[in-house]
Amino acid sequence: MHSPSFTLVAPGRELAAALQHKIDTKTKPLGALGRLEHLALQLGLIQNSLTPQLHKPHVLVCAGDHGAARAGISAFPQDVTWQMVENFLAGGAAINVLARQAGLALVVADAGVAHDFGVRPNLLDTKVASGTSNYLEGAAMSAEQCAQAMQHGVDVVAGLAAQGCNVLGFGEMGIGNTASASLLTHCLTGLPLADVVGRGTGLDDAGVTRKRAMLQKALDIWTERRSDPLAVLARFGGFEIAMLAGAMLAAAERRMTLLIDGFIVTSALLVAAKIAPAILDYCVFAHCSEESGHRLQLQHLQATPLLNLGLRLGEGTGAALAYPLLAAACAFLNEMASFDSAGVSEKSA
């Protein structure tokens, strides 16, 4: 199976001046709404509209297991992945609560969990295999498996677009996936491995030291190392990360606004941005995670996150918390009076 192809161009800037004029003539001092003004401009450019609208916003949470987790790379047992998916399906996880609060619909996909969920009406069965292979011994995925996982992301986005969704947040679940994200980040950015390896689900200092050594071993045995993003993804990624990368590219291709969550989701974006750099113009960076390496990812992408709340949970929780700010930017652009319409005097010359 070949990897899906994408035709992705940056949003046009034909309306940039008109959008900026509309923002500047609202009843406020110039720039007084700060980052909301930048968000409003970005939304207008993405949708090529002076009156952008947010329709049927969703959060897509992809779950998958990692072969390396069985080698003890995480503080938690691998069974937590499927147990947390059950928690998502029961409505009891943090992402359920925060998505409900923000008015976001939640979509949960089994990209490759080592568990048989059976047929579940509220779980997308996009399982490529029951977890990846162990990258401490070889490639995590074959090229065909990587392509299949990415295509599943494309297919899910096509279904959401058909329902009218034009805003999509991204989340993940997978014990061991911060280690995978660290390897992807190192290989795709050139950042030192030690700087992008963190505590994940709660490793102590000794655990972090051991994790770094294991990840260095994984790099050392990849003697045919390449910088091609799909090769890096197949070598060290998870099915959930590959699915997210495909979904992101497909969402941007359909001119959706992408809400980017934390460290693992941003590692998927690093892959997507290597394939199609224009994707970054469609991204709203929700927050800066406490996970070691996320701030460095954001700096590499020259991205400014909306929030810094000390989060390190994943699941798309940062994206859910940031969505109301996106909605506020859209609302002020469309509903706030201008100086002319309100009969309010502007600043004196």
In this structure, what token pair is assigned to residue 267?
């590692």
Question: In Å, what is the CA distance from 339 to each residue of 38, 39, 292, 299, 346?
Answer: 20, 21, 46, 38, 6
How many other C-beta atoms are found inside a 10 Å radius of the C-beta of residue 226? 11
Helix (H) or strand (E) holding 173: strand 167-173
Q: Please state, in angstroms and rounded to a whole number, the distance separating the CA atoms of residues 304 and 260.
A: 11
- In contact, 154 and 43? CB cutoff 8 Å: no
Helix, coil or strand: residue 106: strand
Question: In Å, what is the CA distance from 113 to each residue of 23, 79, 109, 212, 265?
Answer: 46, 9, 10, 25, 17
Rounded to the nearest angstrom, the gap between the alpha carbon of residue 120 and the centroid of all alpha carbons in its chain is 25
Question: In Å, what is the CA distance from 101 to each residue of 105, 147, 246?
Answer: 10, 35, 27
In this structure, what token pair is assigned to residue 347?
């600043």
Q: State yes or no: is 172 an active-site residue.
A: no
Q: Please state, in angstroms and rounded to a whole number, the distance separating the CA atoms of residues 284 and 322.
A: 9
Instruction: State the catalytic residue, choosing from 290, 315, 335, 346.
Output: 315
Residues annotated as part of the active site: 315
